[in-house]
Structure 1
Amino acid sequence: MLADLRVVTSEHLRLLDDRMPGLVTDLLITGSIALDDYRPGMSDIDFVAVMGAEPTPEQLAILPELHQQLPKGPNYDGIYLTSAQLIHPPVSAPQILAGDFDPAKSGGQLTPVTRLELSRYAIAIRGRRPAINVDLDVLREWLRGNLSGYWTKWTLNAGEHLRGLPPAEPIEQYLIIWGVLGPGRLRYTLATGDIISKTGAGRYTAEHYPAWRDLCERAVRARAGEPMAFTAADGVAMTELMQAVIDG
């Protein structure tokens, strides 16, 4: 992980400074690396680049070219924000996700959760971790909306698909990892006002929803890289767990 991180961030900064000197004042790492939960071959590298001023149209046009020149490796996903926008988030901002650059993307890392993570756990490659006061009421409202919106829809769609399969049919482990570990992170933050990793969320979910403890433990082991087989029956159990977590 440290080698991947060092290579991509040093080249990112070198290209930025060469093509657009002074644009990026701080480069911060969030996500699994900041939460000490990086898994090679599975985790992305997440960044927040802080700018001294909003980029010009010419600079915006350079950013996707620059990202195409970065070394191959884990997805290098992130967002570009000014220091003022860290305090007062915009409606949209330049973001890159899985190699797809959008100069004015809404959603993505524009969330109160990212701002909370930045203020408490971000690793500064350049500059320093920002001091951000996160409104916990706004944070909780966003979390509840994400559970009732994105995660509820995902659970319903997954359940409809999985119930149509033979119970013993194998399914991809990434579905289990995503579904079992995802909603628990939001439920944890609602309960504590803090951030937890995916692995930590699996353990938290196992503790608070013991009927699905075995499934949670297997999902955590799969995320750690242990070969693990899952079936459609496991997938159905996953959707039942997810609904329980969504309901609280």
Structure 2
Amino acid sequence: MLEELWITAAHVRALDESVPGLVTGLFVTGSVPLGDYRPGLSDIDFVAVTDRPATADELAALAKAHASLPTGGPDYDGIYLTRAQLAAPPAGDGTAPQILAGDFQPAKPGGQFNPVTWLELARHGLPILGERPHVALDAAALRDWLLGNLAGYWTDFAGRAAAQFAAIPPETPVPAESVRWGVTGAGRLHHTLATGEVTSKTGAAEYTAEHFPRWAGLCERAARSRAGEDEPFTAADGTAATELISAVVADAHARHA
């Protein structure tokens, strides 16, 4: 198991000390079980399962527990869900305790509260504590969320990024992550729409290169960069990434809406 998963052991100890008995299941999701964890790039994602909603005192204790976890490693991001929540598709107005980049929110909407988290937990959740809960998967809810995220977040992201890249000379070097995020992100959602399965960021780059060959070279470079190779990117690459996002969004809606 990855050395970075020491953070989950620290999490379990903190839960036992601060809210004993509340969390009955803990599962790692994201890049680790998908075999695409990259030191220095990837976060550790988790889903914690409870038999009942946390009380106000327990939520305060959870916040303190996360604040007490050792720092210096990858971000440790996740969501606390009850077995009752997981037994039905995620409600559009639902909330749950979530932590992202060290920010714990006791009743956060959105974020990991979405059908992709349900799918990841059901198909790929790596068990750390307890037995896997029953997880309700709804193909229509998953499709609607994916299309909505592409039309909302990814379309907005492409518009903002395109303006930023257009404001600087095309040959200007830009951070690799600013290109990798666009190249791999929208393609992951397209892949899930097409297959009903989740894929890693590297898998998304390979999938997108195959299905959108105009940008295959850019996708291959993004995959090499994610693997740790020294692959420089420019503003022109950033512009191409935003064009790829727009093509992915348009194709997804043409095929699946």
Structure 2 length-normalised TM: 0.94
For residues 9-34 of structure 1, the C-alpha deviation after alignment (integer angstroms, 9 at most, x for no partner) is 11111111122110000001100001
State the SS of the aligned residue for 1:27. Answer: strand
The Cα RMSD (Å) is: 1.1
- The 2-side partners of 1:20 and 1:235 are apart by 45
- State the one-letter code of the partner of 2:65: L
The answer as to whether partners of 2:25 and 2:129 remain within 8 angstroms in 1 is yes
- The 1-side partners of 2:21 and 2:189 are apart by 36
- The 2-side partners of 1:241 and 1:11 are apart by 40
The answer as to whether partners of 1:95 and 1:103 remain within 8 angstroms in 2 is yes
Q: Detail structure 1 runs of 4+ shifted over 4 Å in the superposition.
A: none
Partner of 2:8: 9
Structure 2 unaligned blocks of 5 or more = 252-257
- State the one-letter code of the partner of 2:97: P
Matched, 1:142 2:145: yes
- The 1-side partners of 2:231 and 2:110 are apart by 33
Partner of 1:64: 63
Q: Where in structure 2 are the equivalents of 1:146-161 lying within 5 Å?
A: 146-161=149-164
Q: Where in structure 2 are the equivalents of 1:117-196 lying within 5 Å?
A: 117-196=120-199
Partner of 2:226: 223
The answer as to whether partners of 1:29 and 1:47 remain within 8 angstroms in 2 is yes
For residues 151-174 of structure 1, the C-alpha deviation after alignment (integer angstroms, 9 at most, x for no partner) is 000001111111111011011100
For residues 48-85 of structure 1, the C-alpha deviation after alignment (integer angstroms, 9 at most, x for no partner) is 11112111111111111111111221100001111111
- The 1-side partners of 2:63 and 2:228 are apart by 32
For residues 206-228 of structure 1, the C-alpha deviation after alignment (integer angstroms, 9 at most, x for no partner) is 00111111100000111111111
Q: Offset at 1:127?
A: 1.1
State the SS of the aligned residue for 2:231. Answer: coil
Structure 1 unaligned blocks of 5 or more = none
For residues 84-142 of structure 1, the C-alpha deviation after alignment (integer angstroms, 9 at most, x for no partner) is 11123351110000000111100011010110111100001011233323110111011
State the SS of the aligned residue for 1:37. Answer: coil
Count residues in correspondence: 247
Structure 1 length-normalised TM: 0.97
State the SS of the aligned residue for 2:146. Answer: helix
The answer as to whether partners of 1:123 and 1:129 remain within 8 angstroms in 2 is no
Partner of 1:51: 50
- The 1-side partners of 2:133 and 2:197 are apart by 17
